[in-house]
Amino acid sequence: MSVLLDHLPELWQGLLVTFQLTAASFLGAAVLGVLVTALRVSPVRVLRALGTAYVETFQNLPLLVLLVLAFFGLPEIGIKADLRVTAIAVIAVYEAAYIGEALRSGVNSVAKGQGEAARAIGLTFGQSLRHVILPQALRTVVQPIGNIFIALTMNTALAAAVGVVDLTAAANRVNLLEAQPIPIFVGAGAAYALIAACAGFVTGRLERRLAILR
Amino acid sequence: MVMKRLVAVVAVSLLGLAACGETSSPAVPGGEAKKDDVLAQAPVAAAADILPGSTMEKIKQRGELIVGGSLDAPLLSQQNPATGQVEGFDADLGKALAKYIIGQPKVKIVNSASETREALLANGTVDVVFQTYTITPERAKQVAFAGPYYTSGLTIAVKKGATGIAKPEDLNGKKVLAGANTPAIPAIKKFAPQAEIITFGSDPECLQALKQDRGVAYVQDETLLIADAKKDPSIQIVTKPFTVDPYGIGLKHGDDQFKTFTNAWLKKMQDAGAWQKIWKSSIGTVVVGEAPQPPQIGSVPGS
């Protein structure tokens, strides 16, 4: 236990980076995910194909492969950003595929008549999506999105492999010095579990508040 | 359009990785023919040394020594993708210890990491650890160390032509690359507390990052950096080693019998010239000159 207390500043710094990675990449993934859903349900075939290609590409590649490609491949063609920014961008792009799919299942759960009615009163595709479909779709997918948030939190640990000093990397460094892996990694694990538990609690509350009975 | 650009990026970056793989792919040190020769000189323990009920006897009965080690450390312990054999200084010493106990160099290498090796020793998953395991008093509370069997040190590499870094203190305030889970991290913190340390999992990744200016310097074990600088003329080494890292053989904490036994083996290896032979066939393929004087056994606090 004392190793954790002795190295609290380093571990805390790592935890802050994990928070940063989680929050920023979830935000990015949410925005991108809505766009991907819009593409996948759009009436234009080319756009639908584009959405499908995006989802298939990023769901079928391991995140670590994407991270390594972005960290070492992009600088070769002259694109180089800060390590943390690169990690956030890659995680956001990757998780957007999952959020897009979750949202699409929500869109499919909205009765067909809703979309037809929206069109009948003269709303454009964008308007019907924004005012009619998505507000209903989002309510049904609170729980899946919460799960994706938890998965995303765990996935941020992969950034440790490419040089970002998040909680996992910080724990690794402390262990290198102290050689007490069990208390150190149990401590780090507890911090991740706490984040996941908070996310689960919040999504549970949200779902109860937002659910519509049909 | 977006897709096209994405495909182009992926293709180009794959090419980039493939290209760098060519230049920095670690040549497998030491020839196959030399290997058997090296172990031929290694001693075998007298039957009386294998005390009944001891760890040594258990290993002998099992017919295999279980070693915790790396599979990706060039010159020290690296798996040859062509033969599947693990080769290098640490790996060969492990085989020599197996030969000493069992009579044949039969080892099973369990890929351990610095997060797991104390636990692997404590719960008996592995018998010994040969993995650039620097002896420190903190670690000696968790495991027993035989040896030291080798002394190495950290040094600094920069891109060729870079100026302003001549000693470890010059790293203050700069971005410094290091291998994750290497002793370089605490060493940099000690000599240059204001340095920003960026870590990557493997040596080729660190080199690539140095060449892409992710950091201005790369701190790593001297042997590795010498090998890197030989293969890649775009980097250079700027200092003599600035730390002394005595590598020990990790054993289960409190197993004094096995520790005495292992130390006796190490002494015999050095006296017979087998230690020097193994050095010559691994680290000696990149470091010029004769094998160094092996460190005094038990000379380090914690050993």
Least confident of A97-101, B63-67, B81-85, B146-150: B81-85
Looking at domain A20-166, what is its CATH homologous superfamily? MetI-like (1.10.3720.10)
Sign of CA dihedral B19, A62, B178, B134: negative
- B10 — pLDDT class (breaks 50, 70, 90): low
Query: pLDDT at residue B226 above 70?
Result: yes
Looking at residues A93-107, what average pLDDT do you find?
94
Rounded Cα distance, A42 and B34, in Å: 67
Q: For residue B42, what are its two tokens?
A: 């290694």
Contact B9 A77 (CB under 8 A): yes
Please enumerate in sequence order all residues whose Cβ is within 8 A of that of B51, keeping only pairs 6 or more positions apart, or say none: B57, B257
So what's the pLDDT on residue B4? Answer: 54
| Domain limits, chain B | 32-152+246-285, 154-237
Query: pLDDT at residue B171 above 70?
Result: yes
B13 CB within 8 Å of a chain A CB:
yes
So what's the pLDDT on residue A33? Answer: 95
Contact B115 A185 (CB under 8 A): yes
Give A111→chain B minimum CA distance, Å: 32
Give A148→chain B minimum CA distance, Å: 24
Rounded Cα distance, A62 and A88, in Å: 16
Each residue's pLDDT tens digit, B60-91: 899 999 999 888 777 888 888 888 888 889 99
- A92 — pLDDT class (breaks 50, 70, 90): very high
Q: Which of B131, B118, B124, B33 is nearest to B76 (CA)?
A: B131
So what's the pLDDT on residue A44? Answer: 92
Mean of all residue pLDDT scores within chain B? 83
Contact A169 B199 (CB under 8 A): yes
Give A164→chain B minimum CA distance, Å: 7
Residues in chain A closer than 8 A to B9 (CB atoms): 73-74, 77
**Fold match between domain B32-152+246-285 and domain B154-237:** yes
**Residue A76 or A118, more confident:** A118
So what's the pLDDT on residue B26? Answer: 42
Query: pLDDT at residue A93 above 90?
Result: yes
B218 CB within 8 Å of a chain A CB:
no
Residues in chain A closer than 8 A to B10 (CB atoms): 69, 73
Rounded Cα distance, B214 and B258, in Å: 45
Instruction: Return the CATH fold of B32-152+246-285.
Output: D-Maltodextrin-Binding Protein; domain 2 (3.40.190)
So what's the pLDDT on residue B25? Answer: 38
3-state secondary structure of B158: strand
Residues in chain B closer than 8 A to A66 (CB atoms): none
Q: Is the pTM of this model over 0.90?
A: no
| Domain limits, chain A | 20-166
Chain A interface disruption, residue of B5, B7, B12, B13, most A CBs within 10 A: B13
Query: pLDDT at residue B14 above 90?
Result: no
Residues in chain B closer than 8 A to A160 (CB atoms): 180
Q: What's B154-237's CATH class?
A: alpha beta
Query: pLDDT at residue B252 above 60?
Result: yes
Q: Which of A14, A56, A16, A29 is nearest to A151 (CA)?
A: A29
Contact A182 B119 (CB under 8 A): yes
Contact B136 A179 (CB under 8 A): yes
Query: pLDDT at residue B31 above 60?
Result: no
10 Å Cβ neighbour count for B205?
23
B133: nearest CA in chain A? A176
Please enumerate in sequence order all residues whose Cβ is within 8 A of that of A206, keeping only pairs 6 or more positions apart, or say none: A142, A146
Inter-residue contact B93 to B130 (CB < 8 Å): yes
Rounded Cα distance, B183 and B146, in Å: 19
Query: pLDDT at residue B27 above 70?
Result: no
Facing residue for B138 by CB, picked from A70, A71, A179: A179
Give B283→chain A minimum CA distance, Å: 25
Looking at residues B276-282, what average pLDDT do you find?
88
Contact A53 B3 (CB under 8 A): yes
CB-neighbour burial class of residue B168 (10 A; exposed 0-12, middle 13-18, buried 19+) = buried
